[in-house]
Chain A
Amino acid sequence: MGSNKNSPNNFFSKVLEFICKEELYEELQGDLDEEFKINVEKFGIQHAKRIYRKEVFKMMRPSVLKRLSINHTMRTPLLFHFFKISFRNLKRNFSYALLNVIGFAAALAVCLFCINAIYSNQQLDKKFSDGDRIYRVNLESKTLEGTSLSATSQIALYQKIQEALPEAENIALIQNQVMYTAAYLKGARRNLLGQGINRDFFKIFDYEMVLGSAESLFDNPKHIIITKKVMDKYYQEETVIGSSLGNYIISGVIEDPAKVSHLDFEFLHSKYEDHTGSPFYTSWKVHTMQILYIKVLPNIEATYVQEKLSQLSKEINEELNNEDEGIEYNYLLEPLDKVAQSNASLNKGALLSSDAQNMLIALMIVILIIANFNYTNLAMASAISRAKEVGIRKVLGTGKYSLVYQLLIETTILSLLGFGLALLIFKLLVPSVASFTDFNFQEHLAFDQVLLFFSFSLLTGIISGVVPGLFFSRISIMSLFRKSTGRNKLSIDFLKKGLMTTQVTVSLLVFTLGILVLSQSSLILNQTTPFSGEQLVALDLPPSDSLSIVFRTEVERLTGIESVAGTRAIPFIGSFGYYGVRKQHIDDPTHRHSAVILQADSGFLSTFSQSIEWLADKKMIKDRPYFLVNRAFATSMSDSIRRFNETTFSLGLDYYPVMGMISDLNLTDPVEAAKPAAIMITHEYPLGTLILRLNKASFARTLGEIGELYKTRYPNIDFQPVFVDDVLANRMRQFKGIVRALIFVFAAIVAITLMGQIGMAMYQAKTREKEIGVRKVLGASLRQVVQLILKSTLLQLIIAALIACPVAYLLFSELPLDFAVPLSVSTYHFAGAFLLFSLIIFTLVSSQTWKTASQNPVDSLQNE
């Protein structure tokens, strides 16, 4: 035999063998082999192989190709016949089919929204020029607590970057000290989210100006630029420029940032702190007040810039002696096209971080699996109800696959109809869903998204047609007519019951999980905070010790003021830096614990008095600073030697005791479990921020008086009071957005499974039509009939509960998050979910049975 080199291509020979009719193969392959040998001598091996390959391709013609079995059965008249039967069946069971279609369409529509949200998120920030040269500088802080990445960084970083990075063509700042400005718009007090920016902001983020110019912002410190959304809500386009908003004057209108970028604000102003500003804000410990972006010069590598930033990080850490406190700052570049998906915390706006996107994709897969299961289940049930018809056809000699094709056509028509309906639902609901959840949605879908869901619908139709079809083609004819065959476990009856129980179990599982997740969310949203923020107004004072003391004294004299507290900053806006706290009884200077500390003066006690649980006699601490700690602090700071209230703590110099507890104080993320935190009551006057408790009855008047006093003492600075209740409400804003989205998704899932239940109830009623008719004839009352049906439903529910409840519990406890108020799952949750679900199921089954039982028994006992 010749070597491999001189034989034709093995692969193509196999192809020929695969496609060629058996009776022709020997002749044709033989001829090709012989010709190959001749060609090798004439033209050489390569050319001969080329000719061979061409010959094999040209063998693809009807006279040579094997006949596929489909050709036997799928001739056109037969296909047409199948379609006719399918439409007839669908017409006969119209409501059942409709239910199936709607349930499937609902599931697809929900997934379309989810995938659209992810896609829209990825489309953000694409409009800015030179986007590939724009980066955000994130701060990675390593503390004793662990490592965290935040989108915000310290105010003082700006000057450092200016000095260290000549490669930065532009450096844009966004600052949040003046987060809200209160203004009376359309007759009510509104708080608008504003951000301070510098000139380079527009050089990096070249948003479209709807009215006015971007430069106008810097002509006058009173100028602001509002978004189109704000203009549409509160102003007229013709008169908006020059109108006032609080103490500001509107000089321009900009396109809505949340629609095109990861940024979200309602207005922009030009005031920002620099490195010489207030000592608190420029402290390196506070990193929540500023977001910094750079646009790198052309032809500079990002890696080079990152190296320089890492070098800068090192220098800053050394300068601040961070090592002593166990802190390390690292500044990391994040490219603009990744920012909208960033996992960095304090990313403003309704964005989907990549973690959230993954979770959403996982949810989508779950919904699609449930939809597919639902659909297949209902299709199977529908097929089972036609068992006798199938039996008769088999007796008459119908082919094995013709049954499969029949069901396949029916289920595929329905699933594609469902797909069409899903697209329609999406188109109609996109505007309302977008406003409900704050997320971005594109009005139209991308082609590959549509293709993906079309393929899924087709696949579902195929699976739900093939599964029952194959089942029927294999089952014996007698089993189709008998209710149950003694030995054969796979009787129709058993299958019916199995399907119904499975449907109930899946529905109950989803229902229970939904209730658990929603209970957890509502616990977090309604958690108690030690401060309600009612009647509290916070005011940042410009840095000036003497003026601050004077101002405070004057404010304290106002009749409408109930109490005044001084703090280092407005609590609950973002989070503060962590301090390395040392314990007195531990000698080792490197032994530190991390805690969030807010310094306040004794006025704090009267302003926030109700929440404090005193551990010692207040008289003891007249002039000495002390701590008021939360539960997490108490737990983490207690050790085997001393408990937290038996020792003293230091932030670097002197040691002070703990005098009281504010158990539920949470100065960090309110969604997660509270980190160790404390208020340090100090007598260090004056602290930069005043928290004023105003009398409720004279609130507006007192606020006005404070404003007047402020203008007198600080004539060049705007009076910007911050309402603490708004701040507290806003803390949860993003979480609330997520919860709303979760409610939407869960409601959809529950609705889909319940639709499956309705389908099952209808199916059950239909299949027992004759039995019900006979019972009525024998004298049973309507109530008795309904009770009989409910008895079997109860059994299904009990089996479902035994499976679904433990599974729900397991799935819920797999949630990786550490919540501020963790839900303690108890039997009450499961019992409640089970009872509510059972009530729904009983209602569904009863209503369907009632309908059937109310029919004239003559009609139901007649031949169909």
Chain B
Amino acid sequence: MKGTHLGEFQEVVLLVILSLDSNAYGVTIKQEIMNKVNRDISRGALHTALSRLEEKGFITSEQGEAHEDRGGRRKRYYTVTNTGLTALHEARSLRDELWSQIPKIKLYPGYGK
């Protein structure tokens, strides 16, 4: 289990990559996190998360096309692997299970009145 654990931020990054489909590279991932999750992270922090996810086998990457706006440098696109998907599902079901164990009265103080 150690080494396959998915941190909260890593989970967010995986979900954002999935939502961006084939357009998931550094700039877009960062922007999407900013827009959807309202978290302003640095490119360096994002890189750390991406490299850890890649080490764990949850994502893969490949080089894309160069662009003038990037000084003629190529992009690197990321995709979620099956392992990554599995980890995401596991994390979600673990969360759901924990949520379901909490009595509604605790989550919603006015419930049933």
A residues apposed to B, CB below 8 Å:
24, 26-35, 37-38, 54-55, 58-61, 63-64
Q: Are B73 and A64 in contact (CB under 8 A)?
A: no
Cβ 8 A contact of A29, one of B48, B69, B73? B73
Cβ 8 A contact of B74, one of A26, A58, A60, A61? A26
Q: How distant is the Cα of A35 from the Cα of B40 in the complex, in angstroms?
A: 13
* B36 touches A (CB below 8 Å): no
Q: Are A26 and B47 in contact (CB under 8 A)?
A: no
CB neighbours (8 Å) of B45 from chain A are 58, 61
Q: How distant is the Cα of A55 from the Cα of B45 in the complex, in angstroms?
A: 10
* B51 touches A (CB below 8 Å): yes
The interface centre, meaning the residue of A34, A54, A60, A64 with most chain B CB atoms within 10 A of its CB, is A34
Q: How distant is the Cα of A124 from the Cα of B43 in the complex, in angstroms?
A: 58
CB neighbours (8 Å) of B26 from chain A are 27-28, 31
Q: Which residue of chain A has the shortest Cβ distance to B29 in the bound complex?
A: A31
Contact (A37, B69) CB under 8 Å given A27-B26, A31-B25, A55-B42: yes
Contact (A58, B44) CB under 8 Å given A29-B71, A30-B71, A33-B69: yes
Task: Taking A29-B71, A37-B69, A61-B44 as given, write out 14 further A-B residue pairs in contact, using a Cβ cutoff of 8 Å, ordered by the A residue number.
Answer: A26-B73, A26-B74, A27-B75, A29-B73, A30-B66, A30-B67, A30-B71, A31-B25, A33-B69, A34-B67, A35-B43, A55-B44, A63-B51, A64-B44
* B70 touches A (CB below 8 Å): yes
The 10 lowest CB-CB distance pairs between A and B, nearest first, are: A30-B73, A30-B70, A31-B26, A58-B42, A58-B44, A59-B44, A27-B76, A63-B48, A63-B51, A33-B71
Chain B at the A interface: SS class: helix
* B27 touches A (CB below 8 Å): yes
Which residues of B1-51 are within 8 A (CB) of A? Answer: 25-27, 30, 42-45, 47-48, 51
B residues apposed to A, CB below 8 Å:
25-27, 30, 42-45, 47-48, 51-52, 66-67, 69-71, 73-76
Q: How distant is the Cα of A34 from the Cα of B30 in the complex, in angstroms?
A: 12
Q: Are A30 and B47 in contact (CB under 8 A)?
A: no
Contact (A35, B51) CB under 8 Å given A27-B76, A30-B73, A58-B45: no
Q: Are B69 and A24 in contact (CB under 8 A)?
A: no
Q: How distant is the Cα of A64 from the Cα of B44 in the complex, in angstroms?
A: 7
Q: How distant is the Cα of A55 from the Cα of B40 in the complex, in angstroms?
A: 12
B34 CB → nearest A CB, Å:
11
Q: How distant is the Cα of A684 from the Cα of B103 in the complex, in angstroms?
A: 128
The interface centre, meaning the residue of A24, A31, A32, A54 with most chain B CB atoms within 10 A of its CB, is A31
CB neighbours (8 Å) of B74 from chain A are 26-27, 30
Contact (A59, B71) CB under 8 Å given A27-B26, A31-B25, A35-B27: no
CB neighbours (8 Å) of A64 from chain B are 44, 47-48
Contact (A24, B42) CB under 8 Å given A30-B71, A30-B73: no
Q: How distant is the Cα of A55 from the Cα of B51 in the complex, in angstroms?
A: 17
Q: Are B27 and A34 in contact (CB under 8 A)?
A: yes
Contact (A33, B47) CB under 8 Å given A27-B26, A27-B76: no
Q: Which residue of chain A has the shortest Cβ distance to B68 in the bound complex?
A: A1
Cβ 8 A contact of A55, one of B43, B48, B73, B75? B43
A551 CB → nearest B CB, Å:
99
CB neighbours (8 Å) of A60 from chain B are 44
Contact (A34, B69) CB under 8 Å given A27-B26, A28-B26, A55-B42: yes
Q: Can you offer 14 A-B residue contacts whose CB atoms are under 8 A?
A: A29-B70, A29-B71, A31-B70, A31-B75, A54-B42, A55-B43, A58-B42, A59-B44, A59-B47, A60-B44, A61-B44, A61-B47, A61-B48, A64-B44
CB neighbours (8 Å) of A30 from chain B are 66-67, 70-71, 73-75
The interface centre, meaning the residue of B26, B51, B73 with most chain A CB atoms within 10 A of its CB, is B73
Q: How distant is the Cα of A59 from the Cα of B76 in the complex, in angstroms?
A: 17
Q: Which residue of chain A has the shortest Cβ distance to B72 in the bound complex?
A: A30
Q: How distant is the Cα of A27 from the Cα of B74 in the complex, in angstroms?
A: 7
Cβ 8 A contact of A24, one of B47, B70, B71? B47
Q: How distant is the Cα of A58 from the Cα of B45 in the complex, in angstroms?
A: 8
A318 CB → nearest B CB, Å:
80
CB neighbours (8 Å) of B44 from chain A are 55, 58-61, 64
B97 CB → nearest A CB, Å:
33
Q: How distant is the Cα of A109 from the Cα of B86 in the complex, in angstroms?
A: 70
CB neighbours (8 Å) of A34 from chain B are 27, 67, 69-70
Q: How distant is the Cα of A399 from the Cα of B70 in the complex, in angstroms?
A: 41
Q: How distant is the Cα of A63 from the Cα of B66 in the complex, in angstroms?
A: 24
